[in-house]
Amino acid sequence: MPDYGFVRVAAAMPLVHVGDCKANVSEIVSLANELAGRGVGIAVFPELSVTGYTCADLFGLENLIEDAQNAVAEILDKTSSLGMTLVFGTPARWHGRLFNCAVVACRGKILGIVPKTYLAGNAEFYEPRWFESARVLPEEGVRICFAGQDDILLGARQLFHPRGSLLTFGVEICQDLWAPVPPSSFEALSGAQLIVNLSASNEILLKHEYRKSLVQATSSRLFCAYVYCSCGFGESTQDLVWAGSSLICEYGGILAESERFKMESTSIMADIDVQRLETMRAKEHSFRLESMPMARFTETQIPPLPETDFEALLLRHVEPHPFVPQADPEHLDLRCREIISSQVAGLATRLSHIHCSHAVIGVSGGLDSTLALLVTVLAFDALGIPRKNVLGVTMPGFGTTRRTHDNSTALMTLLGTASTEISIVPAVRQHFRDIGHDESIHDLTYENSQARERTQLLMDIAGKTGGIVIGTGDLSELALGWCTYNGDHMSMYAVNVSVPKTLVRTLVLWAADNRFADNPEASAVLRDIADTPISPELVPADENGQIKQKTEDLIGPYELHDFFLYNFFRWGYGPDKTMLLAQKAFAGKYDSGTIAKWLRNFMKRFYSQQFKRSCIPDGPKVGSVALSPRGDWRMPSDVSCPWDLAEAETQGQSK
């Protein structure tokens, strides 16, 4: 079965028996069997989990060191039938020196032993009293016999690569992460997309939050996944408290976090996305500028990861609306404020630079033109230019309904802008006569003629008034090519160019409740606009005067298309993986056939409509996804992508 680039990982926190290796073996093996049964590919245990971390001077006793080695052999024997890779902590000796180590093992075989580099040496614990740093070893490591197995590499510069997988992972131990230049930095630059950290990190006031931010920041900085596994209940509390504080992070986000202070063995799991990380690294120029020759690391090929049915159960949240802030109200307010401020700053800068104090905007009563009008008004406020210098033009046509018409005129009045109304019907009818088109045929010619007439009016009014035309089209329409070439496709500055449709609605509602809360009538109009069906209103209304031409009935739900766009652009996912994620994100709302239908439509339209994106006007980038041909998305208009299109065609079909 396909893995879609996912790898299931776990942080396991067994109940600790300080100094009792046999009891620790029982706890470790029990957790290992449980995790293997849940499809885990790599399970990470805490620092010195075989002995317990708080043995102190007992590490100087021969009996404990021998017991630890025997315990490792027992763990290997009792997990030899598991396909899962285990990483657990134990002391190990070489030439009269004792090292705090991580054992990497699978199917009963030790694949490598990684010693700790940066030893903790502070008021809380002083590891140099018992252990040596990995730095006393030769850079290439040494070969030792351990736990009944020969020729085992002991060294810090090791990476591990499961056969048949995209994954490469590296190991560091606790304090290594706190170092100015952690080993994980070099491991990531040498290809490791996953770092596992075996830790024994105690709890003191505020340390938990700092530790969490450190792991998150490290995973973000290194474009990696990070499994941080810390010891918990059972470690000696003679002077310190241990809470089993463990995290699984990926590119700055927390996928799983343990409940601290549990008084039993516990674990956390997550499915990390290696493909996503590889895509991010390939895109990030600063990451590629750094280099760490692979020759400085020994990369060990290890047994393949066990098969996991990610289609049946994917252990990660998939956000259905990735463009829309999903956090608490305070965070939502911050994000919306930031986005609109960016739009306002972009337009204000352009107006100031060209010494322009007038703007012309087509106001239809729809979402996009409403957001563009709000941004324009706020930009004029910021520049100290009267709002009357903003001329809103409503241009009713064959499909304009009373609801959108009245909302557009009311909004301009309530915001205090100048306004004018020009019906496009006479001019378009003359145009139909000129080109010999039958008005009763509601085809693309019928629709595009209206869009281009509106754009011509706006351009000519702008020329007459010495203003610029503010574009209203959004990112979703641009991705789908859902705009009329040289019609609504064109403007002099496009403020919504990188705002997707799902976010437009959120921003309009936020503005109603925040920026224009002191104008309750305007807020009410904004909320009604947000509730209006999305439509270009280019075909006549129904018999009740209601919108007949609903965009999402024609091209599919925008929430699906925005989901497809985000995952395609941001992470480079193909149709198969996008389909898998969409099924999880929209479970219970759309069935597989519906998702597959609109995914095929998205892929076809995206690849065929680049010619429209190749000549779009300037506009501000406000998020991580944008389609400007001058920087964000450069693609030939005549591209042929049989791999994606063929893959899209198979979606929804039985396999």
Q: Kind and range of the H or E element at 115?
A: strand 109-115
Cα distance between residue 141 and residue 497, in whole Å? 54
Structural tokens at position 262: 């549990």
Radius of gyration of the chain (CA): 31
Structural tokens at position 12: 């396991």
- Is 174 labeled as catalytic in the residue annotation? yes
CA 524 and chain centroid, separation: 34
User: DSSP assignment of 296-331, as one string?
Assistant: GSEEEEEPPPPP--TTT---S---S-TTS--S-HHH
The SS3 of residue 222 is coil
> Among the options 27, 47, 74, 187, which is catalytic?
47
The phi, psi pair for 215, rounded to 5°, reads -65, -45
| CA-closest candidate to residue 71, choices 56, 55, 57 | 55
The SS3 of residue 589 is coil
Are the beta carbons of 497 and 626 closer than 8 angstroms? yes
Cα distance between residue 641 and residue 575, in whole Å? 12
Are the beta carbons of 67 and 90 closer than 8 angstroms? no
Structural tokens at position 115: 């010693």
> Among the options 21, 101, 106, 174, which is catalytic?
174
| CA-closest candidate to residue 167, choices 85, 275, 308 | 275
The SS3 of residue 456 is helix
HSE-CB of 27 using CA atoms within 13 angstroms = 27
DSSP state of 242: B
| CB-based contacts of 634, cutoff 8 Å, min separation 6 | none
> Among the options 106, 116, 453, 483, which is catalytic?
116
- Is 231 labeled as catalytic in the residue annotation? no
**How buried is 42 (Cβ within 10 angstroms: 0-12 exposed, 13-18 middle, 19+ buried)?**
buried
Beta pairing partners, 639: none
Q: List alpha helices for 302-418, DSSP H.
A: 329-353, 367-383, 402-415
Cα distance between residue 576 and residue 647, in whole Å? 7
- Is 47 labeled as catalytic in the residue annotation? yes
Q: List alpha helices for 198-269, DSSP H.
A: 207-221
Residues carrying an active site annotation = 47, 116, 174
